[in-house]
A and B are shown apart, each in its own frame.
Chain A
Amino acid sequence: MIIDHPLCGPRDAREFTVLGDAAWMDRPDPAAPDAAEAFHAYACLRANPAGVTRELWWHEHGDRSWLVVTRDTLSHAVLKVELAEDVARASKAAR
């Protein structure tokens, strides 16, 4: 699998470590009244789609960027690769 890194260009997947679903970026508000349930869902429940999914990949043997990789779990096609930092900033700005 080839990951088209926004900074480093196309890189072999073997340079990366996968954390899991990009839902890991959406850490709930610990002060919210439903925090216990929200954290349970955040850490333990997954949509696990057969199709397009977003995942966090770390360029461990590279520039150590975290990337949000949008992939198809049925075809293994890589559809989009973004810097997680950019995604996180954008989502914070949107909130």
Chain B
Amino acid sequence: MTGARLPEGGLIDRARPLGFTFDGKPFAGFQGDTLASALIASGVRVMGRSFKYHRPRGALTMGSEEPNALVGVGEGPDHEPNVRATTLELREGLRAVSQNRWPSLRFDALALNDLAAPLLGAGFYYKTFMWPATFWERVYEPLIRRAAGPGALSGAPAPGREDRAFAHCDLLVIGAGPAGLAAALAAGRAGLRVIVADEDARPGGRLLAERLEVGGVSGADWAAGAWAELASMAQVRLMSRACVFGVYDGGVYGVLQRTPDGPARNVYWRIHARRAVLAAGATERPVAFPDNDRPGVMLAGAVRALLNRWATLAGRRVTVFAAHDEAWRTAADLAAAGAEVRLVDVREDAPGTAPQGVELVRGGRVTGTRGRLGLTGVRVRDGRGVECWREADILAVSGGWSPAVHLTCHHRGRPVWREDVAAFVPGPDLPPGLSVAGAAAGAVSTAAALCEGDAAGRAAAEALGRAPVRANLPEAEDAPVSAAAFWLVEGVKGRAWVDFQNDVTVKDIRTAEAEGFGAVEHLKRYTTMGMATDQGRVGAVLGLGVLAEITGSGIAETGTTIFRPPYAPVPLAAIAGAHGFRPTRRPPTHGWAEKRGAVFVEVGPWLRAQYFPRPGETGWRQTVDREALAVREAVGFCDVSTLGKIDVQGADAAVFLDRLYANPMLKLPVGRCRYGLMLREDGCVMDDGTVARLAEDHFVVSTTTGGAAGVFRHMEFCRQCLWPDLDVSLVSVTEAWAQTAVAGPRARDLLSRVIEGLDLADEAFPFLACGEGRFEGAPARLFRISYSGELAYEVAVRAGRGERLAEALAAAGADLGATPYGTEAMGVLRIEKGHVAGPELDGRTTPADLGLAKMVSTKKDFIGATLLRREGLADPARPALVGLRPVVAGAGVSPGAHLFAQGAPVDAGHAEGRVTSAAFSPNLGETVALGLLKRGPDRIGERLRAVDPLRGREAMVEVVSPHRIDPEGGRLRA
């Protein structure tokens, strides 16, 4: 017989039956079931296939450590792979499917792998698939990849919302079993702000799986009562279905909470806790013996949990195989429930007498199992060495318990072996603020767990300055448990599994050790033991025990591998939360530009108007040409608010800026602007912009769009860390001002109509003047600076008035041909004029490279002055800025092309420079380009090849001055 529901008992709500399907077949369970408990109660044993050999597998555990029973849930985009059936709460209409099998779970073609197992042992990948040489990528690897798994993503974005949040507390209690609840009660009663996080949907931990009483009531009832008391405390927050998956620096804990009834599927928490108590219990270990992986072989605690929590008898004929007293409890519970139970205890001298109705085999071993798709029989060798097969539906195995030490190792602490409890317990190097209580610390009885939890809660209260409240602990079982480590059954042939999901067997460990991979980390990597989705929570310690037996060194010396976060897998969608990646920034005239039909482009985090198409225009080039021509011939305007703006004030503001910029700033007159060139300390150009002096002690400087944040950081660094004695203060005002460039021969005419209170005549407000006027009665700053090379101004008004300014410019300039232009035309204009921008300021160029050597002061110190003189930066052979024009009219030149002398071979050794920027110039009727060319300024007039192998293009170009429009600068001074 396979599993069946008992007529009464358990923590399920029989009044709420739930229908669900598994691989399309309908089943029924109850509220309170997991998928696994409901399937077992329905007689289903096979739930999955193993990774490598595709062995049929059933649930081994009833918890989040489950290695076998992984299923897919949901359909279409909603599909979620690799869900543990053992923790998946049953709900009405749940559709689950098995994974890693074809064509079906019961008949899986790749189970053929199992026959080839002798070939596929540890390390086989590395020794094979090498002949012939070309076959790896063409044949072998695609086959291997196809077999990967277990589950599959849908390939579509998943629907539904995920969220993330922060929380803070004095004490985080991890686990709501007896130790955790006792800790939370002690801390809560003392007035601490407590968060209790427990993986399960229901508090109680191991108490839910046992028939033990606490304080005279059932363990589950006691836990529910404690939970209710905690819920009544205002400063306590209870989080069920919440797995603490990682311990990070500064007392930050990563927590994933499933929230099936909330607006989000999951909430990813960052909990800042001053103290934490780890009370996460322990995980049972299997034992290695031949064919210990068949469906129906389960951990003893899981069989007991099925019985007591889910009122399900996993099988009628049960063999219990264990090495410690606790297994006797399993045998007794099962016998009491009517099962035919045989208890095989490896100890000759196991204390006590057999429980009622249990056949006891002392000093026995299980030496094999049978049953292709589920256990049918168990071979037992008794204490005298006599072997016989006996029928069995369930084999309940326990090799002892491993404390859930994982979180204690997240700061690279190492667990230590404790012989008396036959387990690795947390070592001395715990993450700061974390203590451990209960089974997680190696405590074996319920009373000990309660006592340790209570002590930990009170200790936390005391440490945080609260007086602990004395309270009597409830009565609980306090049986002494004797345990001996038992890893594997020796002297029998057959494959004995250690890591179930990844199909690592005792033989693999032997192989690895013999081949020199006996160090624990080598073993893990060579065999993949502990690297499956269960992260070795079930099998890793067993594997180490087996290794220790093989090598003859003790388990304590063998040690463990490093445990890393997360403790349990975390959905990526939850980590990303509901937030998009990087907020979009919009300049002040965005809405206006939208109304004008602008096409937008991403520039860093900003969305900027790229161009403003007009009806009838057939392509972007036509629009951009029109906009660029309008600037040269009439007037255009463009939102340049994205440029960084930093307000600099103080008596020493000029001194400060003079030290910051490579060119002199000290004597910049009030009411004047100056181009500013800023270097990094290593001598390369960092950024450029405009420095405007509004008053003796008041400047405003601009930066490039991309450089805004970095330049402000740099300036604050210089102010606070280098020159704290200077009287200067800085404010980033990028967002405070809407700044618009107004450029073109009619710029003055247009601005005169819009700006009041400022005489814009050239004599009164010449090139590089700055001053304050008014726009519609409110302050407006004017800077006569030019990026395009035309007569131009930048007008800054309060950010909220940006759209109004754009409207006013468009309206007032209609008869002047006032044209809004976007970033594309701006790029054309600056290349025509030979102004450098992002492609030239690539973090590797010096002022001399950019033709700006003359600006660099030799009379003062400034950031970058000393290292700029290094030989590598002062090398005259470095590529420097030139203009490039195609020799054949109409030929294109593309940025990214490399430059070669005529007749030189086209290879890296002969490249002499590259094209950095290029655009079609409607003003010149040809492509204009900028480039960096070795000794470029000396080579004006030379013809070169611009070669672009990627796109198969080549053009002959002539080296020209970068300043293609108005090199004398007459226009901008007009």
Contacts and interface: CB of A to CB of B under 8 A. Distances in A.
A45 to B, nearest CB: 13
Contact of A35 (B248, B250, B721, B866): B866
Contacts of A43: 681-682, 867
B717 A56 contact: yes
A24 B720 CA distance: 12
Interface in A1-47: 1-2, 12-13, 17, 19, 24-25, 27-28, 30-31, 35-36, 39-40, 42-44
B432 interface: yes
Residue of B249, B717, B724 with most partner-chain A CB within 10 A: B724
Interface string B710-740: 0001001100111011000000000000000
Interface in A35-89: 35-36, 39-40, 42-44, 56, 58, 60, 64-66, 75-78, 83-85, 88-89
B272 A40 contact: no
A55 B866 CA distance: 24
Contacts of B251: 2
Contact of A66 (B249, B720, B861, B870): B720
Contact of B721 (A28, A30, A88): A88
Residue of A39, A40, A58, A85 with most partner-chain B CB within 10 A: A39
B866 A25 contact: no
B680 to A, nearest CB: 9
A88 B720 contact: yes
B869 interface: yes
Contacts of B250: 1-2, 13, 76, 78
Given A1-B250, A30-B861, A58 B725 contact: no
Contacts of A30: 861, 865-866
Contact of A88 (B682, B716, B724, B865): B724
B252 interface: yes
Contact of B866 (A12, A36, A88): A36
B432 to A, nearest CB: 7
Contacts of B432: 77
Residue of B716, B725, B865, B866 with most partner-chain A CB within 10 A: B866
B724 A85 contact: yes
B866 A76 contact: no
A89 B724 CA distance: 6
A60 B649 CA distance: 20
B721 A92 contact: no
A24 B717 contact: yes
B721 A24 contact: yes
A92 B720 CA distance: 12
B249 A58 contact: no
B720 A76 contact: no
B861 A25 contact: no
Contacts of A19: 713, 717
Contacts of B724: 85, 88-89, 92
A76 B432 CA distance: 11
Nearest to B860: A30
A56 B713 CA distance: 12
A17 B725 CA distance: 24
Contact of A27 (B249, B682, B722): B722
Contacts of A85: 720-721, 724
A50 B249 CA distance: 17
B722 A66 contact: no
Contacts of A28: 866
Interface in B420-453: 432
Q: Is the interface of A mostly helix, strand, loop or mixed?
A: mixed
Contacts of B681: 39, 42-43
A65 B716 CA distance: 8
B866 A1 contact: no
Contacts of B272: 2, 12
A84 to B, nearest CB: 5
B713 A58 contact: yes
A67 to B, nearest CB: 9
Interface string B477-519: 0000000000000000000000000000000000000000000
Contacts of A36: 866, 869-870
A83 B713 CA distance: 15
Given A13-B250, A27-B722, A64 B716 contact: yes
Contacts of A1: 248-250, 252
Interface in B228-255: 248-252
A2 B432 CA distance: 13
A58 B716 CA distance: 9
A92 B866 contact: no
B868 to A, nearest CB: 10
A71 B530 CA distance: 34
A27 B724 CA distance: 13
B867 A66 contact: no
A58 B681 CA distance: 18
Contact of B722 (A17, A35, A40, A88): A88
B721 A76 contact: no
Given A25-B722, A66-B716, A85-B720, A76 B249 contact: yes
Nearest to A83: B720
Interface string B148-175: 0000000000000000000000000000
B271 to A, nearest CB: 12
Nearest to A2: B250
A62 to B, nearest CB: 12
B721 A39 contact: no
A51 to B, nearest CB: 15
Interface string B695-722: 0000000000000010001001100111
Nearest to A59: B716
Nearest to B714: A19
Nearest to B712: A64
A44 B680 CA distance: 13
Nearest to B411: A75
Contacts of B866: 28, 30, 35-36, 39
A81 to B, nearest CB: 12
A95 to B, nearest CB: 12
A28 B866 CA distance: 10
A65 B713 contact: no
B717 A58 contact: yes
A50 B869 CA distance: 33
Interface string B387-418: 00000000000000000000000010000000
A10 B717 CA distance: 22
B249 A84 contact: no
Contacts of B867: 39-40, 43
Nearest to A28: B866
Contact of A84 (B252, B720, B725, B870): B720
Given A17-B713, A35-B866, A43-B867, A65 B720 contact: yes
Given A2-B252, A30-B861, A92 B717 contact: no
Contact of A60 (B713, B720, B869, B870): B713
Nearest to B866: A39
Given A30-B861, A40-B867, A43-B681, A56 B725 contact: no
Contacts of B713: 17, 19, 58, 60
26 contacts: A1-B248, A1-B249, A17-B713, A24-B717, A28-B866, A30-B861, A30-B866, A36-B866, A36-B869, A36-B870, A39-B681, A40-B867, A42-B681, A43-B867, A56-B721, A58-B713, A66-B716, A66-B720, A84-B721, A85-B720, A85-B721, A88-B720, A88-B721, A88-B722, A88-B724, A89-B724
Given A2-B249, A44-B682, A88-B720, 5 more contacts: A1-B250, A13-B249, A42-B681, A84-B721, A85-B724
Interface of B: 248-252, 272, 411, 432, 681-682, 709, 713, 716-717, 720-722, 724-725, 861, 865-867, 869-870
10 smallest beta-carbon distances between A and B, as pairs: A2-B250, A39-B866, A30-B861, A1-B249, A76-B249, A88-B724, A66-B720, A85-B720, A1-B250, A25-B721
Interface of A: 1-2, 12-13, 17, 19, 24-25, 27-28, 30-31, 35-36, 39-40, 42-44, 56, 58, 60, 64-66, 75-78, 83-85, 88-89, 92
